[in-house]
Each structure stands twice: as C-alpha cells, then as structure tokens.
Amino acid sequence: MARRAVVLMNLGGPDSPDAVRPFLYNLFSDPAIIDLPKLLRLPLAWLIAARRAGTARAIYAQLGGSSPLLPNTQAQARALEEALGAEYRCFIAMRYWHPLTAAAVKAVKAWQPDNIVLLPLYPQFSTTTTGSSQQAWHEEARCQGLATATREIRSYPAAPGFIASLVGPIAGALDTAGAAAQSVRLLFSAHGLPLKIVRAGDSYPQEVESTATAVVNALGRPGLDWRVCYQSRVGPLAWLGPSVEDELHRAGRDRVAVVVVPVSFVSEHSETLVELDRDYRRAAEESGVVGYHRVPTLGIDPRFIEFLAGLVRETEQNRLPVEIPAAVSGMA
C-alpha cells in the first residue's frame, strides 16, 4: 500500500507564556514579514518581540496562557486522516512555533512516504503565509535530503466545497440575528495586511474578496447587506481597510446588527477567541451596535474536512506542482 503524506501548514502559536517572545521573534525575523537585509532584520525582530511580548502575553493569558491553534490543528489532522484512509498520514508544520518546519520535514522523511501534499490552512494565498510556509518547507527539505515527489496546494478561496462549508453556519447566524433585529449586516473579517505588501503584488485582498462574493452568491439572499473588513492591524504602516472597528462604528450609526465571519481562519485561536469574541464585541457595544453575532471557524466540521480530503486527492492527480511565488516585503 502506498504511503501518502499530507502536511498541514499554519502559523503556529506559543504554548506557554515563556514562548511568547521567541514566537514573536520567529515571526518578525521572517524575510517575508520584514523585507530587510538580515543584519538589520534580526535586531529589529528582537526589538519588536521585546516590545510586544507583554501585550501578547496578556492576550494569551485570557486563553489560559497558550494558543489553542496547535490542538485545534491536531484535531483537524486526525479528522482528515480518517476521511482520507489508512494510506495517508497527516503531519503538522507550523511556521513560527513548534512543531516547526524542520521537525515536520524530519518526521515525514522518517515515515518514507511515496508522495507529499502540502496543504495550507490559509484559504487565501499571501506571500506572508502560504508563500512563506511552502518556501520554508522546500528549503528545509533540501537541507535534510527529502527528495520525495511533492505537490503544493496554493489556495482555495472560492472552491465550491469550501464555500459550501461556510454557507450553512453563516445562514444560521443571519437567521438568528434577523429574528432579534430589523436590519442585519454581514461582515467578512480577514486578517489584515500592510498595503506595502499588497502593492508589491500580493493577491491576498483579491482572494478574500472572491471568498466573500462566492459566499454571498451561494447564500442567495437578494439585497443582503455585506462588507469585507480587516482585523489585527499593528504598527504605523498603512493597512488594508476598512478595519473591523470602522465597520462596527458604521453599523452603530446605521443601527444594524452584525454577523461577523472570520473568512481567513479555519481554526479558533487568539484572533477569534480574544480579538473577535471579546475586543470587537466590546467595541460593538460601545458603538451602539444592536446585535453582535460571530460565526465559528470551520474547525473539524465534516463538510470542511471532506472538502480538504477531496482537495488532497485532486492535487495528487495533478502531475505538475503549483508554482509558489517568491516571498516579498512584510510587516514592520
């Protein structure tokens, strides 16, 4: 029986308060995040990590001191293995905290698969997420001598199975919100990105828009009020907009309820459980929003897992791997 490895790729998150600062250092030392020569980038990453560690620890303290992203990804890996069958094994490669890419490559090499599929848990492509993760994989595979045939999944922003997975929970949330308010606005929230990166050619905002448009079309609700907005802005640079905060202020002025959908995340973590559920809910209340409803991430929803399984099988049938663009400039 053939051995087929599937590598789930995600950002990663600190597993203890002591891990917060090195996690941040790993993040900001990535040239896809800060596009500077190494001699400048590494000291700057150290400085940013030192300055932001306290704030980040306070965020993770609300979640028990660590990120839930790894256990949630492990649950997805187990569910995907079950959907794919006995010849498949799923491995996890986190970009900025354990299990890091090097450990994942080592584990895959030891298992000796016949082929490998790299599966990003970022639905929309960005050079700062999928691009960086897959580039790191290929560099580490070369270093460790892993030469197994490998195919990459670039993104799946408007794939029918992904959209179908989103539509059910969103429709339910819209119905719940509509039962308590006369007017409801659907807010598609995606992780922000500095405009500097977008202007360098990153396709992320177009892919986020394609997800939102496909969901709205699939919902089939004429006259639906909806917007795309962005969260998690940090630093002084200009970022993609409008921000979630801006849209909450607008919703308050318009006296409409909001249903917030995190379309760029497929697992619960700090930016959903703290930022969306606590910080933005408080901002909505302060802005006079008449109702705030948040749609859960897909997690191990059977429809989503079956979609991923089909995506893996389809990718294996494709003889040519997807070309991954080189990483470009990043956050400051």
What is the per-residue pLDDT for 1? Answer: 83
pLDDT at residue 330 greater than cutoff 50: no
pLDDT, average across residues 313-332:
51
CA angle 323, 136, 60 (to 5 degrees): 120
pLDDT at residue 326 greater than cutoff 70: no
d(CA 218, CA 160): 9
Q: Are 113 and 3 in contact (CB under 8 A)?
A: yes
What is the per-residue pLDDT for 328? Answer: 28
pLDDT, average across residues 113-119:
97
Which domains does the chain possess? Answer: 4-155+302-317 (3.40.50.1400), 160-294 (3.40.50.1400)
pLDDT at residue 327 greater than cutoff 80: no
pLDDT at residue 292 greater than cutoff 60: yes
d(CA 76, CA 73): 5
What is the per-residue pLDDT for 260? Answer: 98
Q: Are 45 and 28 in contact (CB under 8 A)?
A: yes
Q: What percent of the chain has pLDDT over 90?
A: 91
In the predicted model, what is the mean pLDDT of the chain? 93
pLDDT at residue 144 greater than cutoff 70: yes
Q: Residues 19, 22, 24, 27: is their CA dihedral positive or negative?
A: negative
Write the pLDDT tens digit of every residue in 298-307.
Answer: 999 999 999 9
Residues of 67-103 as b/e, b for ≥16 C-beta within 10 angstroms? bbbbebbeebbebbbebbeeebbbbbbbbbbebbbbe
pLDDT, average across residues 141-168:
97
Is the whole model's pTM more than 0.85, yes or no?
Answer: yes
